[in-house]
Amino acid sequence: MAYNPVPSELIFKTLEDAGFTESVVGREIVYERANHRLPTLVVRVFTSAKVGRDQVAERGKDAIRVVLVYRPEGGGQTKAVKKGKRVFRTGATEDILKRMMDRARELYTMANWMSTVPACKNCGAPCYRESKRCAAYCYFKRKAAA
């Protein structure tokens, strides 16, 4: 399928309409939405648009990435909980935007599920629904320190 850069403004507007707010990670424009049940779980959409530019920069290297992250209350380092499949900029604009929102919804739904299982007894982070393991992997950190 043909490469389609998709204007950044269209990506931003789509995300804003879905309740996401703009943020910046490094120099990349990232849109975020915290889960309403468990606000420490945040869906992040890495748009690949850089601060100070209108259009995406590098052709072919600029897939949109959608990631569910754990952000501890009161700040602290975020931790990737689940990475969605990359959204490549190929095909019709509306299809690209739809794939982006589908990935975002999948991860938002995953956060809904995670809100139904008890938080980690050790560090308070959310746990995965199936494995019941800590999404911040604190067990491995403790093991490494021991």
Q: Which residues are near Zn ion by CB under 5 A?
A: 120, 122-123, 125, 134, 136, 138
Closer of 64 and 134 to Zn ion (Cβ): 134
How far is it, in rounded angstroms, from Cα 6 to Cα 24?
A: 20
CB of 23 to Zn ion, least distance (A): 25
In the complex with Zn ion, which residue's Cβ is closer, 12 or 128? 128
Find the shortest distance in angstroms from Cβ 122 to Zn ion: 5
In the DSSP assignment, the letter for residue 59 is T
**CB of residue 66 to Zn ion, shortest distance in Å:** 24
